[in-house]
Amino acid sequence: MKTNPQVKRLFRNAVPRGRVSWFISFGFHALIVLILAVLWQGGRPHGLSEENSREVGIALKFEDKAKRYYSDSSGDQSQQVGSDGQVQQSQQASMDDVVPNSIPADPRKSLQNSRTAALGAVDDAASASDGSSGITGALTGGGFGRSPGPTGSASLFGIQSPGNKFVYVFDRSGSMGGVGRTPLDYAKAELITSIQSLNKTQQFQIVFYNERPIIFNPAGSSGRLSFATEENKQRAIAFIRSVTAAGGTQHDTAILLALRLQPDVVFFLTDADEPRLSDVKLEQIHRLANGIVIHTIEFGLGPKNGSENFLSRMARQNGGQHIYIDISQALR
């Protein structure tokens, strides 16, 4: 079939030869762009983020000068205190289960492996207990639900110490009891005053001990530093008031427990010069403290003699202060 010459002329006039080439070039380049886009989309990773997620919430990092702190933004510190003012003690667990969950990223972190090995003494002592020590779960410096602010301070028996994280270690052995107002009553009143003075950006933990330690447990997961919110302060006061004096004395287990929490400061109070901690044990404590300040408060009867005991040496070796209180005069 022959094409009418007039039709051919009309087709050539409608679609110039140069424009046909332009359409072909445009289509070719568009196809290349489409292929590259498909390849680029297929090569992107899916389901990845810069930080791993956890069920407990978003991990937030806060920095305070050279130190870093981590907290769980969705942490829960709720635990009900009984109507009689008593708090529930946590169940005893072997300290073999004690593994740090959230160690602050500060200069001491590089020594964590050596700390964990050396602190095996705490594991052995707690494993031999009868189940009433109140220690369970992981020990860590991480707190719940709030971020640390600028460095503050805490005061106890006139010792003013800067820091954000504090552990109070108090003797509750039988010698701290008695009739009427007791040394333990005197110590607890001062402890409550100190806790009440903390601000909500600071963290704290309380350890009472005789042969075994018991630890403040506001959120059903002992072994954590708690932020000093008003709610936690009230729970801490109820816990403090529930503690009674009984039993013997074993200092080192409670001190090592406090060091494992990795606070800035430890306040250590006892009325017992016996049993004394040996020079070897003091050196172990100094090595594990590694910059943690330890203040010691000694309750005694009568004026202090001039000799240096293990409490004053512990404070001196760890950058702290040692004070002596004649408890017979203080209770009058």
CATH number for position 258: 3.40.50.410
DSSP letter, residue 281: H
Of the CA atoms within 13 Å of residue 56, those in its CB half-sphere come to 13
The pLDDT of residue 13 is 56
**Long-range CB contacts for residues 192-196, cutoff 8 Å, separation at least 24:** 192/237, 192/240, 194/154, 194/155, 194/156, 194/168, 194/267, 195/168, 195/228, 195/233, 195/236, 195/237, 195/240, 196/233, 196/237
Q: Are residues 212 and 120 in the same domain?
A: yes
The pLDDT of residue 18 is 58
Q: 269 lies in a domain?
A: yes
Structural domain range at position 10: 5-43
Q: 313 lies in a domain?
A: yes
Q: 14 lies in a domain?
A: yes
Cα 319 from Cα 202, distance rounded (Å): 21
Cα 103 from Cα 222, distance rounded (Å): 15
Q: Are residues 20 and 100 in the same domain?
A: no
Could you state, in chain order, the average pLDDT of each consecutive group of 10 residues for the chain (332 residues)?
A: 55 56 76 78 47 41 38 36 38 37 40 44 40 37 42 95 98 94 97 97 97 89 86 97 96 96 98 88 96 97 89 97 95 90
Number of domains in the chain: 2
Q: Are residues 192 and 278 in the same domain?
A: yes
Q: 267 lies in a domain?
A: yes
The pLDDT of residue 41 is 64
Q: Are residues 21 and 151 in the same domain?
A: no
Q: Are residues 150 and 262 in the same domain?
A: yes
Q: Are residues 184 and 246 in the same domain?
A: yes
Q: Are residues 245 and 175 in the same domain?
A: yes
The pLDDT of residue 24 is 77
pTM across the whole model: 0.60
Q: Are residues 16 and 86 in the same domain?
A: no
Q: Are residues 103 and 23 in the same domain?
A: no
Q: 51 lies in a domain?
A: no
Cis peptide before 45 (omega within 30 of 0): no
Cα 151 from Cα 94, distance rounded (Å): 34
Cα 43 from Cα 35, distance rounded (Å): 13
